Amino acid sequence: HIIALHQVGSNNPDGIDIKANKDTQGIPKDGIPFHPFYTVKDIFGLAVFLFLFAAVVFYAPEMGGFFLEKENFIPADPLKTPEHIVPVWYFTPFYAILRAIPSYAGSAFPGVLAMGAAVAILFLLPWLDKGIVRSIRYRGNLYRSALSLFVISFIALGVLGTLPATDTYVILARIFTCFYFAFFLLMPWYTRLDKTKPEPQRVT
């Protein structure tokens, strides 16, 4: 991270390339030194993370069954399989996508393929986004609406992944799976057609 930061510089909330506006010495006018600004920011972020991490470890390690699953506290019985096994919380959206895809010839491979694609497509985001501005401050309503639907779909898939695979929940998971993939697959078009606000020349 530090090597990449040294090479290309840090981003900013406006998404402006600060190297385009330099002073007589060739230093970006809107640039700030790495220390103390970035070191203090990162130390503060690390402190907040350690505080939350310690709170979970010492006071709520189970976190209602989302961090340590309730099945882990049931004595093993080789003659009885739990009716519903929930994955760890950060896998539940992709687990819901896995269950939403119908099996083909008795094989769950299409669901596994869709789950893998749901993760792999995240790495294609820089090439799918054809927007001319980086910051969401200057994005249009089309992109904001698509992003809102994506967030709602991702959260809904996470909730559905923790619930039993009933017919109703599977149908809902299929609907939200379509929204999930539509956000990425349609991105080259709606980001190109979206009306953006004018971007400032300097960091505001």
Half-sphere exposure of 28 (CA within 13 A, CB side): 16
DSSP, collapsed to helix, strand or coil, labels residue 22 as strand
First and final C-alpha spacing in the chain: 25
Highest mean pLDDT among 21-25, 39-43, 78-82: 39-43
Of 10-14, 58-62, 86-90, 94-98, the one with minimum mean pLDDT is 10-14
Of 32-41, 89-98, 158-167, the one with minimum mean pLDDT is 32-41
pLDDT exceeds cutoff 70 at 6: no
pLDDT for res 177: 98
Q: What are the residue ranges spanned by the domains of the chain?
A: 1-59, 79-204
Sequence-distant (6+) residues with CB within 8 A of 108 are: 98
26 versus 132: which is more confidently predicted? Answer: 132
Please report how the helices 141-160 and 167-185 are oriented relative to each other, as an axis angle in degrees rounded to 10. 150
Which pLDDT band, with edges at 50, 70 and 90, does 179 fall under?
A: very high
Mean pLDDT (the chain) is: 90
> What's the one-letter identity of residue 179?
F
The architecture (CATH level 2) of 79-204 comes to Orthogonal Bundle (1.10)
Percent of the chain with pLDDT over 70: 96
Name which of 118, 104, 109, 107 is nearest 161 in CA terms. Answer: 118
Number of neighbouring beta carbons within 10 Å of residue 32: 13
